[in-house]
Amino acid sequence: MYGNTAGKPLYGPGQGSTCGPIFWLLCYWVIVTSLDPTITAAKFISACREIIVEITGVSFVDDSSLSVTSDYIYDPTITDTVNQWKEVEHLVQRLSDLG
């Protein structure tokens, strides 16, 4: 049985408790407002280019993630392998900038 006892106390609201959602909302608000607002992490453009969605990440209950899309510009003067490594480095840097 899940519950608080003198021998095994629970710390925090626990998932499904009445006060859990508001505590999570407050924590999430602190996380999101601490991010640099000039950084757009992920950009999704529709095939017709009329719909553009830009997000930093998604969150549901206690499961959150940040996201990035690449805006690396391919350099035709270097090999594909080097371009791929440079793009990975670029994406890692963009994720680091979010933190």
Give, for all 99 residues of the chain, the pLDDT tens digit. 667 778 877 766 666 667 777 887 888 788 878 877 777 678 888 999 999 988 877 777 667 777 888 889 999 999 999 999 999 999 888 878 766
Rounded to two decimals, what is the model's pTM? Answer: 0.51
- For tokens 């453009």, the residue is 45
Q: Cα angle vertex 29, ends 25, 33, to 5°?
A: 170
- For residue 20 the two structure tokens come to 């859990």
